Amino acid sequence: PEGEITAGYLMKKSGKTNGWSRRWFVLNEKTGKLGYTKKQEERNFRGTITLEECTIEEIPEDEVEKSKSSKDKKPNGPDLKGPGLVFKITCKVPYKTVLKAHNAIVLKAESVVDKNEWINKLQKVIQARGGQVGSVSMRQSLSEGSLDKM
């Protein structure tokens, strides 16, 4: 249905501390925006991402972790090796930021199913808004071969 809302918790990588914080994300398919709050009850987004300017890609978890914390590996719970749960939203527009001062935001889902669902939804929104996920725009091909010539 039009204007569908998808919401759920994702872990957001903090640029400052390099740790993960759990945030409530809300995807509005009608506006093509992804916003987030600290808690589900919050009414005002702490940040909003305009998806049509972005690309989505999955990244291996160890690539995220090894950025600068390799020497201070804290044993914080089970080591989540296995299928990656991490994906990245990057702004395609040069010098434009996705969120606050970052040109990319790294997110981690709570399960593979969640991750795939989020990535599919996000890519669908990007495609619907004319973003590049490697598809030809339908509008263009329809107007060239219009049926009223028959």
Domain regions of the chain by residue span = 5-70+81-133
Fold (CATH) for 5-70+81-133? PH-domain like (2.30.29)
CA dist., res. 70 & res. 103, Å (int): 24
Q: What DSSP designation does 116 have?
A: H
The pTM of the full predicted model, rounded to 2 decimals, is 0.72
Q: What DSSP designation does 17 have?
A: T
Q: Tell me phi and psi for residue 128, to 5 degrees.
A: -60, -25
Mean pLDDT by 10 residues, the chain (150 residues): 82 88 96 95 93 92 62 46 84 79 90 96 90 45 42
- What pLDDT score was predicted for residue 131? 60
- What pLDDT score was predicted for residue 39? 94
- What pLDDT score was predicted for residue 116? 96
CA quadruple 49, 53, 58, 59: dihedral sign: negative
